[in-house]
């Protein structure tokens, strides 16, 4: 029995690492694309910004949207104001943006977006969904527009760190770099849809309005969204050169709460889409199987790192190789490290390697305690507080990053 359990654990860890390594290699070897064609046609874009108790940053975000290099009569900023202070609402109304006030017994991003779609009457081509803390690079809408004019109906932009001012913000930033490279760039390179992130994502307006009406999720609404989009026959395109800046968590508490929400939704949707995903695979719908089953089945990368490190160390110390030879664990350990190193730019290594190494044991401890804190995490909205009103990412100033 012990040998069977060890063999199953080894096989599961090996599959997780193999999937990540395949995506990393695909992203590194086949990640470049032909530039999108220029266009003189400007789509009409609604920038949808759900804002739940985001009084400290929503005004700065709205101000940044007013400076975008795009015809101002071709885009509209829509702030979906949930539980904002009266003073904030008054200031927002003076900025010229559209403010839609909402109130729910149980607030969720999906409910806010559906309420806004129900009240908007404009003739839009695209809906761009952003978080309240997000800021966009000046040419963001121009790049999104080119992708849409080229035929892309579902687009995920590259989300990058807005701040890297604490060790946990640095760790959060590199985690997103790796996720972007593997599950968006790497997935597209293999002909699969990019996963979406919940913000910095643009869709044909009519399509996303219809899709959102089918979503009632509290946590992980993006996991439901992406599957509904590909069910309708659309690929999700990763637009790597369109940057959306996102505030990274700064404290151990915020890191733990955020990961608790993510891990809980992963388990919930693995169970929800397990059967349907396998049926989709039998019909040849690999995209659905990948996002519905594989991506939810993969161990979180921090857990994977801890698992393969501990198993390799235990095998070496015990000297018992009856079930899995030591070299098997060493190969997995090396493959896992490679899958984590390939996505990260050299500039990050030079500047932040020691910071990550110092904070990693504490982060591992937080992640390893999460299984005991998952109960109910997907049934309530876990809000992450934001406060950063400017972009402070030193990596973006490094040539050849």
Cα 328 from Cα 84, distance rounded (Å): 55
Instruction: Supply the DSSP string of 272-319, one letter for each residue.
Output: HHHHHHHHHHHTT-HHHHIIIIIHHHSPPHHHHHHHHHHHHHHHHHH-
State the pLDDT at residue 320. Answer: 56
The tens digit of pLDDT for each residue in 21-80 reads 999 999 999 756 778 888 889 999 999 999 999 999 999 999 999 999 999 999 999 999
The tens digit of pLDDT for each residue in 259-309 reads 888 888 898 899 999 999 999 999 999 999 999 999 999 999 999 999 999
State the pLDDT at residue 1. Answer: 54
pTM as predicted:
0.92
Q: How confident is the model at residue 341 (pLDDT cuts 50, 70, 90)?
A: very high
φ/ψ of residue 80, rounded to 5: -100, 100
The structure tokens 């640095």 sit at 170
Measured CA distances, 109 to 103, 106, 172, 198 (Å): 12, 10, 22, 9
Considering only residues 1 and 41, tell me which one the structure prediction assigns the higher pLDDT.
Answer: 41
Compute the average pLDDT of residues 369-389: 68
Contact 38, 146 (CB under 8 A): yes
State the pLDDT at residue 400. Answer: 41
Q: How confident is the model at residue 319 (pLDDT cuts 50, 70, 90)?
A: low
The structure tokens 């559906």 sit at 114
The structure tokens 């026959």 sit at 233
Residue 55 CB burial class (10 angstroms; 0-12, 13-18, ≥19): middle
Instruction: Supply the DSSP string of 134-186, one letter for each residue.
Output: -EE-TTHHHHHHHHHHTT-SEEEEEEEESB--SHHHHHHHHHHHHHHIIIIII
């Amino acid at each position: 029995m012990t040998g069977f359990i060890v063999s199953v654990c080894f096989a599961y860890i090996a599959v997780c690492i193999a999937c990540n390594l395949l995506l990393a290699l695909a992203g590194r070897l086949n990640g470049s694309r032909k530039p999108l064609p220029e266009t003189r046609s400007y789509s009409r874009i609604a920038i949808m910004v759900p804002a739940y108790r985001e009084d400290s940053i929503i005004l700065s975000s709205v101000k940044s949207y007013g400076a975008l290099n795009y015809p101002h009569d071709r885009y509209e900023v829509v702030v979906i104001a949930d539980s904002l202070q009266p003073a904030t609402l008054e200031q927002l109304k003076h900025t010229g943006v559209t403010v839609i006030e909402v109130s729910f017994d149980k607030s969720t991003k999906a409910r806010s977006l559906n309420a806004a779609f129900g009240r908007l009457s404009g003739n839009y081509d695209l809906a761009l969904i952003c978080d309240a803390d997000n800021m966009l690079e000046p040419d963001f809408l121009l790049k999104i527009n080119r992708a849409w004019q080229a035929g892309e109906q579902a687009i995920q932009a590259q989300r990058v760190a807005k701040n890297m001012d604490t060790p946990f913000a640095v760790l959060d930033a590199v985690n997103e770099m790796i996720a972007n490279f593997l599950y968006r760039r790497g997935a597209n390179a293999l002909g699969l849809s990019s996963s979406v992130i919940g913000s910095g994502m643009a869709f044909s307006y009519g399509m996303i309005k219809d899709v959102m009406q089918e979503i009632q999720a509290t946590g992980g609404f993006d996991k439901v969204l992406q599957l509904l989009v590909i069910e309708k026959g659309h690929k999700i395109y990763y637009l790597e050169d369109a940057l959306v800046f996102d505030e990274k968590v700064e404290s151990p508490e915020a890191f733990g709460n955020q990961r608790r929400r993510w891990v809980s939704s992963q388990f919930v949707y693995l169970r929800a889409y397990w059967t349907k995903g396998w049926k989709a695979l039998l019909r040849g719908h690999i995209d659905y199987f990948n996002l519905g089953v594989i991506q939810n089945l993969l161990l979180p990368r921090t857990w994977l790192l801890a698992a393969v490190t501990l198993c390799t160390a235990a095998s070496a110390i015990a000297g018992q190789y009856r079930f899995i030879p030591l070299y098997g664990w060493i190969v997995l350990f090396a493959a896992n490290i490679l899958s984590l190193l390939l996505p990260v730019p050299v500039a990050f290594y030079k500047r932040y390697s020691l910071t990550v190494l110092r904070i990693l044991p504490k982060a591992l401890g937080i992640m390893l305690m999460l299984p005991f804190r998952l109960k109910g995490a997907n049934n309530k909205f876990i809000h992450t507080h934001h406060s950063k009103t400017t972009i402070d990412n030193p990596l973006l100033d490094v040539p050849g990053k």
